[in-house]
Amino acid sequence: MADELYYQSVADLSARLEHKDLSSVELTRAVIDRTRSVEAKIHAFNSFDEDDALAQAAASDARRAAGASGGPLEGIPVGLKDVIAVENQPLTASSRMLANFVSPYDSTVTQKLKKTGAVLWGRLNLDEFAMGSSTENSATGVTTNPWDPSCVPGGSSGGSAAAVAAGEAIVTLGSDTGGSIRQPAALCGVVGMKPTYGLVSRFGLIAFASSLDQIGPFAHTVEDIAILLQAIAGHDERDSTSFQSAVPNYRAALAQKKGPWKLGIPKEYFGEGLDPEVGAAVEAAIAYYRGQGCEIKAVSLPHTQYCLDAYYVIATAEASSNLARYDGVRYGHRSPEAKEIGELYFKSRAEGFGDEVKRRIMLGTYVLSSGYYDAYYLRAQKVRTLIRQDFLNAFYDVDALITPTTPTPAFKIGAKVDPLALYLCDIYTIGANLAGLPAISVPCGFASSGLPIGLQLIGQPFAEAELLAVAQAYEHGHDWNQRHPQL
Amino acid sequence: MTQYEAVIGLEVHVQIRTKSKMFTRVGAGYGQPENTLTDPVVLALPGTLPVMNKAAIDAIIKTGLMLGCEIAPVCKWDRKNYFYPDSPKNYQITQYDQPICLGGRVEVELPGPARNVMGEHKHIPLTRIHLEEDVGKLTHGPHESLVDYNRAGTPLMEIVTDPALQSADEAYAFLTAIRAMIVQGDVSDCDMEKGQLRCDANISIRPVGQKELGVKVELKNLNSISYVRDGIAHEIKRQISVLRSGGTLVQETRDYDGVAGVSQSLRSKEMAHDYRYFPDPDLMPVKVDDAWRKRIAATCPEAPFVRQRRYFEVYQLPYTITSVLVWDRALAEFFEATVRLAGMGRAQVVGNWIVNDLLRDLGAAKQTIAECKVCPEHIAELVALIEAGTVLNNAAREVFSEMFATGELPTVVVERKGLRAVPTDVGELEQWCRLAIAANEKAVAEFQGGKDSAINAFKGPVMKASRGKANPKLVDETLRRLLASG
C-alpha cells in the first residue's frame, strides 16, 4: 500500500483510528484535499459538502473518545452513488429530472452506514438513472478513468469506481443492475461486488430495474469489501424482496475459509469478442488458482447467448414503469412551458430525461404493450429462468465460476456511439443479475496500454463469505492493488 | 316489436378500513387536512418501495369467504401503468390475472309484492375479488388543479360480478346485500358519500332469446345505491330507445347524473388505455395457507339470509321483523341476547319491542344500538312485567321511553313513575262492568247471539272508567261471567 492516507485500506485505517494515531477529521481532511486536487480531472462527484463531512468526522472522533465506536467503518469516509438516498442531501441520479431534488429520507443502507459511524462523503456520478456502461450518459458530464483520463471509467457506477481508484474516497457504494459495479471496478482497477439479489435492502435506492438492482461496495481490498458488505447486508422489512436470513460474519469467514475450491470455467465466456490481453490475464489467474491446489473444471452455461436479449427486455420493461413517477407533478423537473397535464408530462419528461433513458423507456413500454407482452416480456422471463438454472446446474459441480469481468479494458470517451456496442460491455456481468447471484470483480493485471483488467468470480446464492474468500486467495498472491494511477 | 333483455355486470370498489395504507405505514382515513396522510412511499419519492399491509389481506379473505369465493392459495401483485396526477407512481398496484378471491355467489332478495311479503331470492355469481390501492383526489379550479393524496394508497377491493344481472332491481338488491355483509364483517363502513363504496355498471341489451351479448356501455359515478338502480334503469331504457329508433349503440363510458337523471358520454372505446400490466417486481406473491384461511373463517359473521332462515325456524318470527333484524348485525345480536334472557316463547314480543320501539327511539335520538342505554336486560325485564300484569301496555310504552332516556331498569321506572298496574278492587271492577253492559243493549244481544267479538264493545268504557289501569285479562273474565249469568 502507498503511504497516502487516502489509498490505505479500511482495515488499516480503522486500526490507526482505534489507536488514536489518526483522527477521522485528519483522514477526512486528507480525502477532501485529495478530492480538491484531482476532482477537476476525474469528476467522480456530482456534489460534496466538505463542512458536513468534517462535522461528521468530528462527531465520529467524539464518539470514539467516548468509547462508542460503531465498528471498523467508524470515521471512514464512504462515498455514495447518487442514487442512494441520504436525508437532506441531493439525490439526482445524474439526471436533469432530479437536478434540484433533495431527499427527505435515508435509504436503509444509509441508516446502516450512519450506525457504523462512517463519514458519508459526497454524491457520486453515474450514467443517468444507472443506465449505461461508461458514465457518459450523465447529465453532469462524464467521469474520467483515473488511469487514463481520455478513457471512460465504466458505468453506471463510474463515479464510485473512479473515486476509489483516485483516492477521493476510501470506499464507496454503487449499484449493479447488469454489471454497474463490477464493470467499472474492472475498468478502474478496484474491487467491486454485487451481492446476491435480496441480501442488501433496496429501500432508498432509486430503482432502475427492480428485479435486478443490488447495492454493493467498491474498495481496494477484498477485506474492505467484506467490512462494507457486513455494514449494509441484512433483512429489511421495508423491502419485500429482501431475504430473511442471518448475515454471516464475512470478515471472520475470510480468515476461516481457505480452500482449495472447485472452480468452474464457463466456456461461453471465453469466445469471440474477448480482448486477447484480458483473456491472457484471466488465464493467468486460473493458472494461479490451479497452482494453489484448486480443481479447475470446464462448465457450460448453454443459455448465455440469450442473456443480453433477456436483460434488455426485462430491465427496460421494469424501468419504463419505475421511471413513470418522474412526471413533474410532485417533484423534479417541471417544464415551464406546459399549459395542460398532457403537455406537462410530455415536456417535463422530454426535457428532464437524456437520450439513453428515453430509449430504454420506449423499449420497455413497447415490450409490455398489449399484443407484444407474451412475445417479449413473458418469453424473457422464461429465458431468465433457464439462465438461472444453467448457473444452479453448474454449481452442482463447482464452488464458484471464473470469468473475465469485461471483454476489453476501458475504452476512449466517445468511442462507442452505437448503443448496442455499449450494451456488449456487460455481456459477462449480466448473467449474475438475471440469476440473482453474488459476483465480484478483482484486479487481475494491466493491459499493455496500462489500463487495468478485472477478474470476475461468480458465487452461489448467499455464498458471499465463500466468494470473498476465493477472491482474497487470488488477491493475496498478487499486488495489483498496490498500484495507483499517476494523477 | 322486438323485446329486449338487459345483461348487467357490476364492478364494486370497497375501501378496506385499516389503520395504515395498503403498502406503507402511514395512516389511512377520511376527513383529514389535505396531504397529511402521506409519506415518501405514498408520494412515490425516488427510491421508495411498497410493503404489503397484512391486515388488508385478512380483510379481503374475510370478504371472499363471506361472499362464497374460493381463496387462491397463491396470488400476486401487478402494475397497471397509466399517467394521471391522482396516481403518484403513475402505476397502480393491483392484481391482474391472479386475484386473491375467485368465483363466489351472493344471495339477494328482490322486491316482494308488498313490504311485508318476502321477495324472490336469487344468487348473483361473482367473477373475482381483488385487492389494489386507491388513488388520490383531484380538484379542478379555473386556472389550476389541486391534488390531495390522503386517499392514495388506501386498500381498495374490487368485487366483480359475472355479466349475470338482469335488472336495476337486482343490482340494487346485490349492493344492499354485499354492503350489509361487508359492514357486518367489520371490513368497511361502506359509506358511499365518503367514497368507501363505489359502483360502476356494465350494461348491454339484446333481443330476448339471443345468446350473444350486445354492445356494452359502462356507467360511472353512481354514488348511491339508489342512483345505481336509477342509472341502470335509465341506461336500459336509453339503449332500447336507441335501437328501436333505428340507431346503433357504441361501446363507451357514460357518466350518470343521479340528481338530473341523465347520462352523458365520457369516452369511447377508441380512447381505451393499454395498461401494460406486468407483475410488480417489488412485491412477493402472497401465499394463503389453510391455517390462515381457517383463522379468518372463524371471524366471519353469519350471512343475513342464513340468519333470517334461522329466525324463521328457531324463533318463528314473521318476515317483517326478520327483514329488519338481519340487516343489522348489532341489532340481531341484541335481539338474540334479549331472547336468551326473556325466553324462547317471547321472541316475537321481544322482536316487536326492538323493531318498533327501540328503532324508533334510536332514530329519534340519532344513536346506534351500541351507544344507547337500553340493554337486553331492560327489554327482557319489561316483557316479563307486562306478562305478569304488573305493567299494562300503555304504561309499558312510557316505561320504555323513560328507560331509553335514563338507562334505568323497568322496575325502577315503574316504581319511580307510579306506573304499576293497580291491584284491582274486584267489587269496583264488577260495578264498572255492570254499568258498561247496561249501557249497551245492542252489544249484549249480539254477544248472546253468538258474536264473541261483541264483548270488546264493553271493554273500552271499563278501561276508561279505570283510567287505563284495569287488568285487561280480569276485565275480560269479569264481563264474560256477568254476561253468562245474565
Q: What is the mean pLDDT of each run of 10 residues along chain B (486 residues)?
A: 94 98 96 96 98 98 98 98 96 98 98 94 98 96 93 98 97 98 97 95 96 94 92 97 95 92 82 88 98 98 97 96 96 97 96 96 94 96 90 88 95 88 76 91 91 91 81 86 83
Q: Give pLDDT tens digits for A403-425.
A: 999 999 999 999 998 888 888 88
All cell numbers assigned to B115: 313490504
Q: Which of B49, B50, B278 is opposite residue A377, by nearest beta carbon?
A: B278
pLDDT in tens, B399-449: 999 999 999 999 999 989 888 876 667 788 888 899 999 999 999 999 989
**Which residue range(s) make up the domain with B400?**
304-417
Dihedral over alpha carbons B276, B281, B287, B293 (to 10 degrees): -60
Q: Which residues of A touch B285 (CB under 8 A)?
A: none
Instruction: Please identify among residues 259-278 of chain A the ones whose CB lies closer than 8 Å to any CB of chain B.
Output: none
Residue in A with minimal Cα distance to B88: A325
- pLDDT score at B214: 95
B128 plus B167 within the same structural domain: yes
pLDDT tens sequence across A132-173: 999 999 999 999 999 999 999 999 999 999 999 999 999 999
User: Same structural domain for residues B410 and B432?
Assistant: no
Does the interface predicted TM-score (ipTM) exceed 0.85?
yes
Counting the structural domains of chain B, the total is: 3
B432 in a structural domain: yes
d(CA A288, CA A279): 14
Residue B286 within any structural domain of the chain: yes
Is residue B163 included in any domain, yes or no? yes
Strand B137-140 to strand B105-109: parallel, antiparallel, or no bridges (unpaired)?
unpaired
What is the grid cell recorded at B385?
312485567
Query: Does residue B56 lie within any of the structural domains?
Result: yes
Of B274, B281, B283, the CB nearest to A369: B274
Say whether both B383 and B261 belong to one domain: no
Per-residue model confidence (pLDDT) at position B420: 82
Inform me whether the C-beta atom of residue A365 falls under 8 Å from chain B C-beta atoms: yes
Where does a domain end: B241, B266, B294?
B294
Model pLDDT, residue A1 = 43
Set of cell numbers at residue A430:
449480466
The question of whether A69 is a catalytic residue gets the answer: no
Percent of chain A with pLDDT over 90: 95
- Residue B269: the pLDDT is 65
In chain A the domains, ranked by start, together with CATH numbers, are: 5-264+396-482 (3.90.1300.10)
| CATH number for B434 | 1.10.10.410
Q: How many helices (H) and strands (E) does chain A have?
A: 16, 11
- B461 and B323 housed in the same domain: no
The Cα–Cα gap between B49 and B310 comes to 48
Look at residue B268 in the predicted model and tell me its pLDDT: 75
What is this structure's pTM? 0.92
Please tell me whether residues B177 and B225 are part of one structural domain.
yes
Distance CA A459, CA A453 (A): 20
- Smallest CA–CA separation between B271 and chain A, in Å? 14
Q: Which of A83, A107, A241 sits opposite B284 (nearest CB)?
A: A241
| Beta carbons of A330 and B50 less than 8 Å apart | no
Q: Does A173 touch chain B (CB under 8 A)?
A: no
**CA-CA distance, A204 to A196, in Å (whole number)?**
18
Pair B200, B263 in one domain: yes
- DSSP string spanning A103-169? -SS--HHHHHHHHHT-EEEEEE--SGGG--SSSTT-TT-PPPBTTBTTB---SSSHHHHHHHHHTSS
> What's the pLDDT tens digit per position in A75-117?
999 999 999 999 999 999 999 999 999 999 999 999 999 999 9
- Predicted confidence at residue B270, as pLDDT, reads 59
- Which cell numbers hold the place of B171? 343490482
Instruction: Determine which one of A69, A94, A156, A160 is catalytic.
Output: A156
Position B105 in a domain = yes
The Cα–Cα gap between B66 and A357 comes to 48
Residue B299 lies in a domain: no
Peptide bond into A156 cis (omega under 30): yes
Residues B237 and B344 in one domain: no
Inter-residue contact B36 to B150 (CB < 8 Å): yes
Residues B341 and B374 occupy one common structural domain: yes
| pLDDT given for residue B216 in this prediction | 95
Cβ-Cβ contacts under 8 Å, B91 against chain A: 321, 324
Same domain, B230 and B310: no
Tell me, yes or no, whether B180 and B250 share the same domain: yes
pLDDT for B80: 97
- pLDDT tens digit string along A251-270? 999 999 888 999 999 999 99
Rounded Cα distance between B21 and B447, Å, is 74
Residues 285-324 of B with CB under 8 A from A: none
Contact across the interface for A103 and B278, Cβ inside 8 Å: no
Q: Where is the domain boundary, B294, B323, B344?
A: B294
User: Both B322 and B209 in a single domain?
Assistant: no
The DSSP 8-state label assigned to residue A373 in this structure reads: T
Domain-embedded: residue B92: yes
Location of C-alpha cell 317471547? B346
Q: What's the start-to-end Cα distance of chain A, in Å?
A: 17
User: In this predicted model, what pLDDT tens digit does every residue of A212-253 receive, in sequence order?
Assistant: 999 999 999 999 999 999 999 999 999 999 999 899 999 999
* Same-domain pairing of B284 and B310: no
Q: Decide if B25 is inside a domain.
A: yes
